[in-house]
Structure 1
């Protein structure tokens, strides 16, 4: 197994760097690096820039309008984009739903929805989790009852990320109540402008509005919006989550965060000496660095296998576990390094009207609290360990 980049891959890295230098708006990169909230227009602007270059749909094959990159090119692009401070490409339409439609959707669904995802006409959000049915999706209770040429949907979804910006949601719904719970789930595409839908914001622990809860009361959804066969939703959900978990590892973000923490350790002083010279803090930093290097090598191994086999396997669960744990450890090290300067401040302070702390420091605590979620969503790390123990270790 060769873990070295080829000459063509190294040339591609240089091409990506030039593109980011020329096209990434400085004001957007500044927000990302400082951990400030991006607006909807910020995200749409970056998506449009990538789409104009043909790089927005980085995981799509050429036949569907993508650049035809392999796993290595996608890895290089993500790593360089994170290093430059580019916003993360929103995955819900581009990396999750799109691949579901390519594999399970009809030709009519593909022709209608895929161009709209690329053009930014549709902003998709995900309707999986419910109260009492998060990592255990088989427990979901939102129902869809077929009547003629439509389904009538009733229930509730929660933790709907950026749903306040979306005009459409893809949902797992229960279409059969008898038999195994997994056998009665279907995958529906829902227009959020449909009568009977209410979306309420959920304020996170650090004060941000990133997620929502969505209520469905007798919502009529055309039967043509069913993806795949009725009661095939569990198979589709597992397929989608494989893509999500690989992406959640966020190695590029961890590399960027590690460089920031290392720079802090070299400048912040406690008791007259730099943190990097403090044995306890230096040991913690060294441990995370070693784990990050191991994760990068594991990721390259997975990329090498994916080049041959086409899709990630159980390795996506391994990457999800280690990637999220490392990101949380780096958030904790940044918070410890900054002390009181990491504390959450009023919005006017974060906007630069008050000189409390440098912009890149002012949201360290908020980032720490917010990223507690990453080891939970996409299937909690505990669930991923169960998957690995059963499938790989046969326990």
Structure 2
């Protein structure tokens, strides 16, 4: 794949268009605008991995560091066949904004390896992860760039990265990554943080709209992975009827509400939501069109597009995934006040917020209780929600534009205060 094709990615084009439109509407300083439009650096590597059968295969890896004016680069690492430079760059840019929206002293980064992790054995995944880590080892660290899990990676992946980095440094360096197992310096509550944070934002949005989140409230969750599953569990625990869920294999529904705890046990045993006894099959494409109070797209990007956006019948759209709404669909939503959008840079920021907590705990070697984690997470997310609501009201703009303005404005302030070197 040529470099031109790498950059010609729909998500990159969409993200840059959103940034440019926001910059124009907030009259962003032209020098800051030019600097933020591109990442500080992009690391592209092709590296060999020996497979279990003795073959040597080459893989393409990326780490894009967008801006570190407010603190060290921070962002996830994904393993997917769709990974490319354009996608990773777009996600890094959004991470910069997300950290600024939440008021975290961090910058934005993102990384990935173009691979289908489901096709590799555990031993192959470990070798791939360790080799990728050595390729970027001089560009990551507790004070420079801190990776975290994302699509296709998990706490085991982070443990391998931490160990590889630590072996090279000659001593344990837990703070080099977040999202690790608790036994090697991870934080309580990190695995549930993104899904829990989405629900925290739904709670605040419901209060803002005068809605009562109870047994009469319905929700649909697209994606039953780490984010969607924990969001569904939290809603179910609150008494909300989760009437439909989906995963990569299919979708199910039950108008009376799904038993999410039983569904989780089913998925743990069978690997998919399809076939769950107390449900009926649903066309996955129709899940986002269901008449529910809360819709949480928590799978992949671009699922709400110009073809189905007019069919949305939810009151609150909480973006658990990154970029679930295309640029064209977003233009429709901006003019549709019937749907209250909680944009991804706000809705799914629980993960990076608790990653920040984990990083702080690792640096000071002092750990907090799960109760402290959840309380601090809600305080930060709720404060950020009301700040964005305030921007939307003052500027008379939609929530996505308000969130982007809020984050970019904080970055602009920091960049002007630090000045230009030399």
Taking structure 2 as the reference length, the TM-score comes to 0.28
Greater fraction of residues in helix:
1
Taking structure 1 as the reference length, the TM-score comes to 0.30
Question: Between Structure 1 and Structure 2, whose CA radius of gyration is higher?
Answer: 1
